[in-house]
Chain A
Amino acid sequence: MTEPSEMQSECIEAGIMENALVIIVVLDKKGKILAWNHAAESITGYTKAEVIGNTRVWKSLYPDKDYRRSVTAKIAKTLATKNYFKNLETTIRTRSGDSRIILWNTKEITWDSESRIIAVGIDVTRQKETDAFSRSIIDNANVLMTVMVHGKVLLWNKGAESITGYSSDEVVGSGNIWKLLYPDEEYRRTITTWINSIIKERRLFENLDTTITTKKGEKRTIRWNTREITAGAQVRDIAIGSDITLLKQLDAFREVVIENAYILITVLDSKGNILVWNKAAEAITGFTKGEVIGKRDIWKHLYPDTDYRKTITRQIAKILKEERIFENFETTIVTRDGSQKILAWNTREISGGSGTCEIAIARDITEQRRAEEALLAYISEMAMRLKQPVEIIRDNIQEIVDLFREGKLTKEEIITMLGGQVRNATQVAINVQEFQKAIAEKNKEIPEAYRKFLEG
């Protein structure tokens, strides 16, 4: 292939210059513009015809005198030591009044046998805006965010400052922060080993919970997620830590409440698998968490009679279809030791991140039912053994009166019969007392108010 002719070279250069997406300006030593490409026209809004052959455009591009002076001074200072400058960032004002950030690079060239300066300006406005936006997000994110290279911190956002108490100035540029956040050597070693083993397998970790010590000495639980990012030739680690201290406290509180409730609490996933089975559930049914969690066959144990199980399943399905929840639905379960208990069930649907679950709460009302039965038995037996005997005594005395009036009773017979009625009445009084006592003693679980009443 032959070398291009001088004319061909000029054509190629002119083509490149005109079609470049960056500002290309050629100036003489006095700043007079000799060339102004299409991109320069497009970005600044000033045409070739307006700028070629004069220096006026610089005043238009930098209308603020002070700013223009500072830019000029910066350029002069740079050019005093070398005949070019690199990555000089200035903000120009376009013809339409917009501000654009231009990154300038210059080079001295010989053109038409004269020494000229070629200036290339890249419009970095969009990139700067994006950077500022990203920075704003990073700074204002309510999470701890850090970027590291080999453990050395490059970025420490406001969230990180707020959570840990350590400022960006204290952290950026070193890797000491981890010793401060994890002052306990053994704990630090544990989590380092842990992190290393995770990273070895997956190069990242998700939802790793650790406890940090803040600058004030407070403990906070941080949930970490990391990603490896490649920026240019460098591999960096970005770590995001959410402060879940409050969440953990709420979880712990919720767990304490659930575990220590005196009522059976169970949570089922959408497939009916048991997710939660509290201590009361274990105590009432006799089936432990280990036997129940993650399975759905507990109902077969609690309702071993197939017909009964089918009946209540049908009833539950009907209620759920109509009302989506059920309240105080009573069933009789068979516990692990074979005894029967009556439970009153209430359910609610709960929606969470992992889908819809069902929370079922059951009260053991066996003793309550027994107490009610005892009370009912008491009332009916009392009605029978108090009301009727009193009526009998009344009728017998009436008979005695009638027979006496008719002259059919001797004195001895009257005494015998009245004595009998006195004994009957005495027995009724004894019955009432004994009966109250028996009921109170026999039914330990009857309400205290009833007991006091029964014990007289």
Chain B
Amino acid sequence: MVMAGIVNPEELARKQIFLVLVSPANMRQRNIDLIREISSLGYHMVVITTNFPYSVLTRLYSDNGIDPKTVSFIDTVTRNSIGSAENIPLIVRYVNNPTNLTDLGIAVTEVLKENTGKKICILYDSVSTMLIYLSSPNISKFIHFVTNKLRLMDISGIFLAAEKGLDPMFVSQLTTFVDRVIDSG
């Protein structure tokens, strides 16, 4: 089922950045809903995944009627699990470890470069999983870095986070980096 309008297309067109709070049980489904919704608006999606391997997500997207060609991945899971995986240009770039923010930053830059000229939207899935590997101040710094980069490159972005369990101070910090906070349930 397609969720109608999690993100406002006009705001997306203005290259805004969103923090989407999701119920933990719905995290995978919201990921799929957002990709389908935004892809249908003509955006090329760049998914930074910290939970599911690229291969699984591709299949899930296909099963949900999403054209895999409209999505590129930065996969922080696979190489971390199986030790080695080769990058596939325009499709997937692997980062050894989700804590390696430098490599993550480089991967983002390169994927964006590969897709120059396209309407890009980045989906970061998820801030909550990052908490396993990074302290909240370091995550804040990283998100600040990413949002700055997106604004400089005039690209819209979405950060997914579990709606419960985040420290209000941390949420308050995150809200200062984004344009809108959406509680999608």
A433 to chain B: closest CB distance in Å? Answer: 14
Residues of A within 8 A of B167 (CB): 380-381, 383-384
Beta-carbon contact of A392 and B56 below 8 Å: no
Chain A CB within 8 A of B55 CB: yes
Q: How far is the CB of B162 from chain A (nearest CB, A)?
A: 6
CB distance from B128 to the nearest CB of A (A): 6
Query: Does B165 belong to the interface (CB within 8 Å)?
Result: yes
Does any Cβ of A come within 8 Å of B133's Cβ? yes
**Is the CB–CB distance between B82 and A416 below 8 Å?**
yes
Q: Are B170 and A384 interface neighbours, CB within 8 A?
A: yes
Are B166 and A423 interface neighbours, CB within 8 A? no
For residue B82, give the distance in angstroms from its CB to the closest CB of chain A: 6
Residue A441 at the chain B interface, CB threshold 8 Å: no
Proximity string of chain A (62-89) to chain B, C-beta cutoff 8 Å, 1 when within and 0 when not? 0000000000000000000000000000
Taken together as a complex, chains A and B put the C-alpha atoms of A441 and B137 apart, in Å, by: 18
Q: Which residues of B contact A391 (CB under 8 A)?
A: 24, 162, 165
The count of residues in chain B whose C-beta lies closer than 8 Å to any C-beta of chain A is: 32
In the complex the two chains form, what is the Cα distance from A59 to B60 in whole Å?
144
- A420 and B133: CB pair below 8 A? no
A97 interface hit (Cβ, 8 Å): no
Mask: chain B, 59-80; 1 = CB below 8 Å from A; 0 = not = 1100100000000000001101
Q: Is the CB of B28 within 8 A of A416?
A: no
Select from chain A the residue with minimum beta-carbon distance to B25: A395
B24 / chain A contacts, CB cutoff of 8 Å: 391-392, 395
In the complex, which residues of chain A have a beta carbon less than 8 angstroms from the beta carbon of B52?
A: 396, 399, 417
- Assembly CA distance A385 to B133 (angstroms): 9
Are A392 and B162 in contact, with the CB atoms below 8 A? yes
Return chain A residues, CB-CB under 8 Å to B156.
none
**Is the C-beta of B132 less than 8 angstroms from some C-beta in chain A?**
yes
Interface centre among B27, B28, B136, B165 (most CB of A within 10 A): B165
Docked Cα-Cα span, A392 to B22, in Å, equals 12
**Complexed CA–CA distance, A380 and B137 (Å):** 13
Q: How far is the CB of A112 from chain B (nearest CB, A)?
A: 126
Write 7 A-B pairs (CB below 8 A) sorted by A numbering. A384-B131, A388-B165, A392-B24, A415-B81, A423-B80, A424-B129, A428-B132
Chain B interface residues toward A at CB < 8 A: 24-25, 27-28, 51-53, 55-56, 59-60, 63, 77-78, 80-82, 126, 128-129, 131-133, 135-136, 162, 164-167, 169-170
- For the complex of A and B, the 8 pairs showing the least CB-CB separation, nearest first, are A388-B165, A419-B81, A389-B132, A416-B81, A380-B167, A384-B167, A420-B81, A420-B77
